[in-house]
């Protein structure tokens, strides 16, 4: 068995009626019946309605996360020579839990090492031909040392050099991640709802 995402809904804060949904047919049909323009739904209205779909359709876990972006001149990047670009196929591109980073992201990967191995890493996820998302992680014993900002800065630089828009998303309530986004110069763009469902493979 594994998990997949039956719907992903993103709506900008300032124009929430521009709802973008990638979903199963049944979910799309229900959302298509919403009269967004007449109801003037705000993100605070849309989030519980989308979460309710996951509950009623027994889709499994559902989450709300915040999405941020920034213009190049708004970013506050922190570059350091200690940040290295990692070969996705190298053993170095494995985190402290034994997870191959190439399974977490599908773009460039950058890392910082200490005497115990990989201390922090960041990579880019190819969301579209226009925007790439940033993923960042820091080993628990070396947090609050600025490592996340350094590795994320290199990933963001790579996205900008490709002429693309960098995005940063974090689960609602993840305060350290939200603080990192602000430190990097990102500003709130919108909210998103992700729902998972369980797929059981037949014998």
Q: What is the pLDDT along the chain (203 residues), one digit of tens a residue?
A: 334 455 566 666 666 566 676 666 767 777 777 766 665 666 677 778 777 877 777 666 777 888 899 889 999 999 999 999 999 888 899 999 999 999 888 889 999 999 999 999 999 988 778 888 899 999 999 999 999 999 999 999 999 999 999 989 898 889 999 999 999 999 988 887 776 655 444 44
- What's the pLDDT score for residue 73? 92
- What's the pLDDT score for residue 150? 97
- What's the pLDDT score for residue 136? 95
Give the full edge-to-edge strand order of the sheet including 117-126.
20-23, 2-12, 187-199, 62-69, 165-171, 131-138, 117-126, 109-114, 84-86
Contacts of 163 (CB under 8 A, 6+ apart): none
What pTM, to 2 d.p., does this model score? 0.76
Cα–Cα distance between 8 and 109 in angstroms, integer? 25
- What's the pLDDT score for residue 24? 66
Residue with tokens 């900002």: 149
Residue with tokens 């402290």: 96
User: For residue range 78-100, what is the model confidence (pLDDT) as tens digits?
Assistant: 999 999 999 988 889 999 999 99
- Domains and their CATH numbers in the chain: 2-69+192-199 (no CATH), 72-167 (3.40.630.30)
- What's the pLDDT score for residue 201? 47
- What's the pLDDT score for residue 61? 73
- What's the pLDDT score for residue 120? 97
């Amino acid at each position: 068995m594994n998990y997949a995402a039956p719907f992903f809904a993103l709506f900008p804060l300032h124009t929430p009626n521009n709802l973008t949904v990638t979903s199963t047919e049944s979910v799309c049909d229900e959302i298509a019946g919403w009269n967004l323009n007449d109801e003037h739904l705000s993100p605070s209205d849309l989030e519980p309605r989308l979460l309710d779909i996951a509950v009623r359709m027994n889709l499994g876990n559902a989450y709300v996360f915040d999405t941020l972006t920034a213009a190049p001149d708004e970013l506050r990047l922190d570059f350091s020579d200690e940040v290295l670009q990692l070969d996705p196929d190298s053993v170095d591109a494995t985190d402290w839990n034994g997870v191959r980073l190439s399974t977490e992201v599908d773009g460039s990967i950058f890392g910082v090492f200490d005497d115990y191995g990989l201390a922090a890493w960041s990579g880019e996820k190819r969301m579209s031909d226009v925007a790439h998302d940033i993923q960042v992680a820091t080993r628990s014993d070396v947090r609050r040392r600025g490592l996340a900002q350094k590795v994320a800065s290199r990933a963001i630089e790579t996205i900008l050099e490709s002429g693309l828009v960098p995005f940063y998303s974090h689960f609602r309530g993840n305060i350290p991640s939200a603080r990192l986004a602000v430190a990097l110069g990102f500003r709130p763009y919108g909210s998103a709802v992700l729902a998972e469902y369980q797929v059981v493979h037949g014998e």
